[in-house]
Amino acid sequence: MRLSRYYLPVLKETPAEASIVSHQLMLRAGLVRQASAGIYAWLPLGLKVLKNIEAVVRAEMNRAGAVEVLMPTIQSADLWRESGRYDDYGQEMLRITDRHDRDMLFGPTNEEMITDLFRRDVRSYKDLPLNLYHIQWKFRDEVRPRFGVMRGREFSMKDAYSFDLDEAGARASYEAMFAAYLRTFARLGLRGIPVRADTGPIGGDLSHEFHILADTGESALFYDKALEDIASETMRDVMPGDPIIETLQNIYAMEEGQHDPEACPVDAASLSTKRGIEVGHIFFFGTKYSDAMGAKVQGPDGGEVPVQMGSYGIGVSRLVGGIIEASHDDEGIIWPEAITPFHVGIINLRRGDADVDGASEGLEADLERAGLEVLYDDRDERAGVKFGSMDLIGLPYQVTIGPRGLKDGVFEVKTRATGEKQTLSPDETRNFITQAFR
């Protein structure tokens, strides 16, 4: 992709409306623009990252046996009256009346709709277990939308719903999702910290939130320091049954509201208190919706049983901000390789010089042939501007091509995360970068 033909409106100044670094960088690097409070337009670079995150989430859901569907954003209020949540949900729900005076709403979540789909088509225990998920925009009329996409009103969520015949089955489904979440966050280059969450009026012990650590996080976490030593990379392949799951579920980790200093089993010296961003939440809620909405299956002995359900959310658009909070420096964003919008940036230091243009275009073509996405800065701009915007947008590798290096037949290759620079021949450059993404 030629930058001269792309749409990358970077800002020199830090926008005053953004108070945290991820929001500032998302505006400066041209990832999003606010449309109205808590509602954002995604610009090309931001959209690429969002899609890349979706792809990782989708791959791990599929690997866990969940099946993708797509439910609409607009729902009928009638379903929510059946569950009793139409009145309970309060002002966060955006209520809409259509031209026939029917009550509709912009879905804040999908338990009712999925339970309705299930009860219409699934009849027998033989169809279980079943896990259906979608990645769809939600709307919650948050009192205080803030921090950019991290607490928006319109936001993208992956929500999965499990259906099982009995509680043992539901617990196994829960464990499968727990494992999938560990894999997902590890693949995104993050350390996803599971903390025990409140199950509210439903009771039981089966709810976890997954947090990424950041000083700007809205939640205060209290956890056993040992948790941080459990390396995230090793989670990439965690499958159900792995003892790490039980370890993580039993280690002390609580949100502020759940943490009782008096009753805490971990001594002060071994306790970490840090702030976290909630990026996922999983929940077993039994027959709450199936009872209310009559979602039953025929059991093995012929009788009808209400189905046992769980729900599993990941904040896909929140993750874009969350990842930046976890991965940036003074110059800008540092994208994890798994979700970077382009794999490599090429900086042409003298546009119009036939040799430099030729070498830049040659490398672009070679890397694209190798299946990589390349952002080629072919703009007629000062070197400083080009270096600045390349650092700001955070591609993992940068190749600078100029007349001086070309005299010796070399490019300069910079690794964004470490700042390390190497002088390499065109062949070496190609090998180095293609190897990095093997």
Binding segment for ligand ATP (CB under 6 A), chosen from 56-64, 74-82, 315-323, 381-389, is: 315-323
Considering only 281, 288, 414, 416, the residue that binds Mg ion (CB under 5 A) is: 281
* x-marked contacts with Mg ion along 237-276 as a string, rule CB under 5 A: ----------------------------------------
Q: Are 165 and 303 a contacting pair, CB within 8 Å? A: no
Phi, psi of 70 (to 5 degrees): -140, 110
Peptide bond between residue 129 and the one before it cis (omega within 30 degrees of 0): yes
The yes or no reply on residue 183 touching ligand ATP (CB under 6 A) is no
What distance in Å separates the CA atoms of residue 390 and residue 382, rounded to the nearest whole number?
Answer: 13
Binding segment for ligand ATP (CB under 6 A), chosen from 122-130, 225-233, 266-274, 312-320, is: 312-320
Nearest alpha carbon to residue 273 among 225, 232, 209, 229: 225
Output the residue with the shortest Cβ distance to Mg ion: 281
Residues numbered 97-116 forming contacts with ligand ATP, rule: CB under 6 A:
109
The yes or no reply on residue 153 touching Mg ion (CB under 5 A) is no
The yes or no reply on residue 157 touching ligand ATP (CB under 6 A) is yes
Q: Are 211 and 195 a contacting pair, CB within 8 Å? A: yes
The yes or no reply on residue 152 touching ligand ATP (CB under 6 A) is yes
The yes or no reply on residue 140 touching ligand ATP (CB under 6 A) is yes
The yes or no reply on residue 211 touching Mg ion (CB under 5 A) is no
* x-marked contacts with ligand ATP along 247-286 as a string, rule CB under 6 A: -------------------------------xxxx-----
Nearest alpha carbon to residue 254 among 233, 273, 238, 232: 273
Considering only 118, 133, 155, 163, the residue that binds ligand ATP (CB under 6 A) is: 155
20 binds, among ligand ATP, Mg ion, none (CB under 5 to 8 A by kind): none
Contact positions toward ligand ATP, by CB under 6 A? 109, 140, 142, 151-152, 155, 157, 278-281, 313, 315, 317-318
